Amino acid sequence: MQFHIDHKIITQIKKFIHENNDFQLSELLSELHHADVAEILEELNFSQAIYIIKLLDSEQTSEIIAELDDGLRDNILKALSSKEIAEEIDELETDDAADIIADLPKEKKEEVISQLEDVEHAKDIVDLLRYDEDTAGGLMRKELIAVKDSWTVMRCVKEMRKQAEAFEKVHTIYVVDDDDILKGRLSLKSLLTTSTKTPIKEIYKPKITFVEVEEDDQEVANIMQKYDLIVIPVVDEMGRLVGQITIDDIVDVIKDEADKDYQMAAGLTHDVEAGDTISQLTKARLPWLILGLFGGIGAAAIMGGFEEVLKKHHVLLLFTPLIAAMAGNVGVQSSAIIVQGLANNDVKGSIANRLWKELLLAIVNGIILSILLFIYTFSTDEGFKTSLAISISLFSVIIVAGVIGTFIPLFLDKRGIDPAIATGPFITTSNDIFGILIYILIAKAIIGF
């Protein structure tokens, strides 16, 4: 059953901390999963969080620290000595350890690494720190089970027992040659049902999906999603097995990318959280708001050029917000679908084919909506020409907005730019301007002012 934090347990924990009741506090927290304890720490103030971190042993707190949000984790690490951090790092798997050390200041990073007790563990962490965090190398962990293709089944089992002693989970048994070149994988069934004298090279499965260390993390996520993998091996430029990536790390990648795309669609230029400072939030929001401001000025300038006409035909002014809103809504819908499709690798074929499909969809929607609008305006005695001008304008705006909303993210994607930037304020602002301009020009052509 999933654990839920409530006011009662938070109050109880605060009470134990206030009373220095370490025994009962430890008993309570020891029964919880480390992810749940991390969630609890987010609800406490900093001094209370530090109290718990210093109370529990490193075997518990290392996993808790790895689960914390970046802001609280950074503050906690600042309050710990290099030796205390090293004790936490010694308990973590190499990928989580490398992620934490990578965020430390340079001097403290070197101090922590120098105080790690497990030399091999330290070497693996240093090796992982060489890779960019957005690559397969930056995601992978060093902990894995690998056997030589030259071994027999009996030796393989003995070596696997030695390797597995240090690991909490064994996902896959990899097969390599004497130069550590990845050859394939070994199924547990084959291992259990084959003679102990049989060479591994006769029973392993050579067909295996892998990625190289410099592969982009999003591409790794796409590969694992496509082939329903829970783990994937990582090889270097020479094909040597250097690590593996597990599904929990890919879930984090997918979540981070979704958060980034959502924020970009909402008009945020930087990765922000609710707890960020006013300055950080302002830097993230202001650029797109400035774009929206200039877009509004552009739309106002277009309308200003037809001020006398709009005064004479005031009904056109009344429907201006509707035209602008529909242009923005259609554009955002189109771009959001394309961005989602690109993220999931569901958008196939040429830009021309996709534009044609979106054009047909816009025509269907435009006809239905413009007919409904014509019926409404004509029934309110606005006149045939005025009603026709407003409804045709809506039809035209929907088509243009749909095409723009489709083309821009596809174009950005082809140029290697994150297409998520096309959604939200960018599309809304551009379609507002085009919508108003189209509206005025069509009304001028039909009404004849």
Residues 328 and 322: their CA atoms lie apart, in Å, by: 10
103 close to 74: Cβ distance less than 8 angstroms: yes
Contact 93, 143 (CB under 8 A): yes
Could you tell me the pTM of the whole model? 0.68
pLDDT for 371 equals 95
The mean pLDDT of 152-158, rounded to a whole number, is: 92
Q: What is the pLDDT of residue 161?
A: 86
Q: What would the 3-class secondary structure string for 206-221 be?
A: CCCCCEECCCEHHHHH
> Which DSSP helix (H) or strand (E) runs through 417?
none
pLDDT confidence of residue 296: 76
- Spell 175-191 as b/e; 16+ CB within 10 A means b: bbeeebebbbbbeeebb
Dihedral of the alpha carbons of 268, 273, 274, 275, in degrees to the nearest 10: -130
Asked whether 13 and 26 are in contact (CB, 8 A), the reply is no
Residue the block writes with tokens 């929607």: 365
Residue with tokens 């929206």: 292
Token code pair at residue 52: 């718990």
Share of the chain above pLDDT 90, in %: 47
Identity of the residue numbered 383: G
228 φ/ψ angles, rounded to the nearest 5 degrees: 55, 50
Domains and CATH numbers, the chain: 7-139 (1.25.60.10), 145-247 (3.10.580.10), 278-447 (1.10.357.20)
Neighbours of 325 (CB within 10 A): 14
Highest mean pLDDT among 5-9, 206-210, 329-333: 206-210
Mean pLDDT of the chain: 86
- Quick check: 200 and 174 in contact, CB under 8 A? no
CA angle 89, 90, 91 (to 5 degrees): 90
Residue of 428, 266, 417 lying closest to 332 (CA atoms): 428
Among residues 228, 257, 411, 390, the alpha carbon closest in space to that of 315 is found at 390
Of 38-42, 119-123, 148-152, 426-430, the least confident: 426-430
Stronger pLDDT, 441 or 368, i.e. the higher one = 368
pLDDT (0 to 100) of residue 31: 86
Q: Indicate the burial class of 442 (C-beta count within 10 angstroms; 0-12, 13-18, 19 or more).
A: buried
Q: Rounded mean pLDDT of 239-248?
A: 95
448 falls in which pLDDT band (50, 70, 90)? Answer: confident
Give the Cα-Cα-Cα angle 215, 221, 224 (nearest 5 degrees): 105
Greater confidence, 345 or 212? Answer: 212
pLDDT of 203 higher than 90: yes
Residue-level pLDDT at 99:
92
pLDDT at 391: 93
Burial of 12 (0-12, 13-18, 19+ CB in 10 A): middle
Please report the pLDDT score of residue 271 as a whole number.
Answer: 60
- Quick one: pLDDT band at residue 289, thresholds 50, 70, 90? confident
Measured between alpha carbons, how far is 96 from 89 in angstroms, rounded to an integer?
Answer: 8
Who has greater pLDDT, 366 or 257?
A: 366
- For β-strands 173-176 and 145-148, DSSP reports them as parallel
**What confidence category does residue 19 fall into, taking pLDDT thresholds of 50, 70 and 90?**
very high
Of 108-112, 113-117, 180-184, 295-299, the one with minimum mean pLDDT is 295-299
Residues 32-91 pLDDT 10s? 888 999 999 999 999 999 999 999 998 889 999 999 988 889 999 999 999 999 999 999
Check residue 30 and give its pLDDT: 87
- Report pLDDT digits (tens) over 402-437: 888 888 888 877 877 777 666 667 777 787 788 888
The C-alpha atoms of residue 317 and residue 311 are separated, in whole angstroms, by 8
d(CA 33, CA 37): 6
Whether the per-residue pLDDT at 274 is higher than 60: the answer is no
pLDDT score of 262: 62
Query: Taking a C-beta distance cutoff of 8 angstroms, is the pair 182, 147 a contact?
Result: no
Q: What is the pLDDT of residue 403?
A: 87
- Please report the pLDDT score of residue 272 as a whole number: 57
For 186, phi then psi, to 5°, come to -120, 125
Instruction: Give whole-number Cα distances, 37 to 58, 64, 73, 164, 369, in Å.
Output: 14, 7, 13, 28, 53
Nearest residue to 391 (alpha-carbon basis) of 373, 365, 417: 373
| pLDDT category of residue 264 using cuts at 50, 70 and 90 | low
Contact yes or no for 283/419 (Cβ under 8 A) = no
**Tens digits of residue pLDDT in 293-350:** 887 788 778 777 777 766 777 778 888 888 888 888 888 888 878 877 776 666 666 6
Q: How many Å is the Cα radius of gyration of the chain? A: 30
